[in-house]
Structure 1
Amino acid sequence: MSKYLPLSEHLAGLTADQWRATFADMEAVLGASLPKAARQPAWWTGEGKAHQRAWLDAGWRVSDIGPGVVGFRRIAAPDAADVPEAEPEISPLKATGLALAAGAAVAVVAGLGVVAVKAVRNRRA
């Protein structure tokens, strides 16, 4: 269990779309002190660390950082119009047919190449 799980649960339970918290507020939620590194803005940015996943997994991002204060903003869910449609799947039979057609096209081009080489040789002779 991540020590930042209480923060994730707190953010997930909020009804507002923003939460501006002092370090003391967050430490109360966590039940533990924030590390000294949290005093640096870089600690709050990015996505690869456990403490960052706590708010990202709950659907939040850091919106602003000040001395001893951090603002969080809920990440808006994309509208249905913004979500691209999934690519249609190609059936195995259709994929096989496409592969055969591509192979035939390669064979035709190779055959034309052989014919062209023979024509050039015959012309030289």
Structure 2
Amino acid sequence: MAKYEPLVRYLRRQKKAEVELSFRDIERIVGGLLPKASTNPGWWRVEHAPSALPQQRAFAEAGYAPEPELKAERVRFVRIPSPAAGVPGVLAD
């Protein structure tokens, strides 16, 4: 996941519930090109499992679910609600 750590840090700093980035923006943030596989919707899944791909774990760690627009080469990252959000008497992070 080291390649995507700058993206994790970037997303964690965001205050908005949604952040839209172009593929080029993401490449600038991570300091390298996205792989050809990034044109596949499955590449953008959020996965917590140790066997998940590095970027999938990075999205999960950042707390954002990507919604790619592959033809436009843009991704809208939508904040994933914390499990405690909206539960009375439980404080969310």
**1:76 paired residue number:** 81
**2:15 paired residue number:** 15
Aligned length: 82
**1:31 paired residue number:** 31
> Structure 2 regions of 5+ residues with no counterpart?
none
Does 1 or 2 have the higher relative contact order (CA < 8 Å, sep 6+)?
Answer: 2
**1:107 paired residue number:** none
TM-score by length of 2: 0.78
The Cα RMSD (Å) is 1.8
Aligned residue type for 1:35 = P
Q: Which has the higher helix share?
A: 1
Q: Percent sequence identity over matched residues?
A: 34
TM-score by length of 1: 0.60
Aligned residue type for 1:65 = P
Helix, strand or coil at the partner of 1:29: helix
> Structure 1 regions of 5+ residues with no counterpart?
84-125
Higher-Rg structure is: 1
